[in-house]
Amino acid sequence: MQRRNILWTMFSSIGAAAVLAGTASRANAVGVAGVDKAKVAYHLNELDKAGFVLGNIQNHFDGMGGPDRVKINLVIHGAALKAFYSTQASPELSAQVAGLAKMGLGLSACINTMKAQNVSLKDLLPGFTVADKGAVVLLADLQSQGYAYLKP
């Protein structure tokens, strides 16, 4: 009887250790213990979704525990770029973009769209960089670097 209890305790301990090791491994994979932070690329090409996507990005930062836990890049092309013209952006959208940029949001504008719309970086809200090979190429590059792709 005592041998059975010793064996039961031993196997239970091994099982518990395996479960704890697996939990620690999963925690490390999501950045809990200093491993790379999560990376997400948001794709925006619809003008009427600009505010919605910015809200999603804010929720994403909040849900992940802040910019120390997630790196987010917003890649914009097509009609959506017009929402980010400094002369046309609403004060609310401008403030939202500025706040997200301070949190570390990467803002990328498609060079092809910029040429088609005859705009330069100085025409856009502060914080933008140019996706010099185009938005779709940048999105593919980001995915190859481990970024999750989201298109709300």
3-state SS, one letter per residue, for 99-142: HHHHCCCEEEEEHHHHHHCCCCHHHECCCEEEECCCHHHHHHHH
The reported pTM is 0.77
Predicted pLDDT of residue 36: 74
Q: What is the pLDDT of residues 65-112, one digit of tens each?
A: 999 999 999 999 999 999 999 999 999 999 999 999 999 999 999 999
As a whole number of angstroms, the distance between CA 110 and CA 133 comes to 8
**Distance from the first to the final alpha carbon of the chain:** 61
As a whole number of angstroms, the distance between CA 55 and CA 74 comes to 12
Beta pairing, strands 70-76 & 148-150: unpaired
As a whole number of angstroms, the distance between CA 14 and CA 42 comes to 43
Q: What is the pLDDT of residues 9-45, one digit of tens each?
A: 444 444 434 433 444 444 444 444 455 799 999 999 9
115: pLDDT strictly greater than 80: yes
Predicted pLDDT of residue 8: 45
Provide φ and ψ at 88, rounded to 5°.
-115, -15
53: pLDDT strictly greater than 60: yes
CB 127 within 8 A of CB 107: yes
7: pLDDT strictly greater than 70: no
